[in-house]
Amino acid sequence: MLNSEIKSELVSKFGANATDTGKSEVQIAIFTERIKELTAHVNIHKKDNHTRRGLITLVAKRRKLLDYLATNDIARYRKIIADLGLRK
């Protein structure tokens, strides 16, 4: 689980102001951090299927938000991809 310091840092970096948690970029950044933590957990605990299912749903939510950004504002999509380093 993300602590409030990391979450507030992501909100201030990607949001318009300190309370802008609804912006797509903020949600994608928060999902990305949670995905990184859950991936590390699943790599250690290989039989934890409940966490694996949660990880898959988070990846799907992030994918939907990225698809939304790609169709509506390609510049914001490219910027968030570059900032988070999602594509290789």
**Are 58 and 38 in contact, with CB atoms under 8 Å apart?**
yes
CATH code of the domain in which 19 resides: 1.10.287.10
> What does the pLDDT profile of the chain (88 residues) look like in tens digits?
778 899 999 999 998 888 888 999 999 999 999 999 999 999 999 999 999 999 999 999 999 999 999 999 999 999 999 999 998 5
Cα(13)–Cα(10) distance, rounded to whole angstroms? Answer: 5
Q: Please give the model's pTM, rounded to 2 decimal places.
A: 0.91
**Are 2 and 33 in contact, with CB atoms under 8 Å apart?**
yes
Q: Which domain holds residue 35?
A: 4-84
Total of domains in the chain: 1
pLDDT of residue 88: 56
**What contacts 19, CB < 8 A, 6 or more positions away?**
11
Which helix (H) or strand (E) is 23 found in, with range?
A: none
pLDDT of residue 53: 97
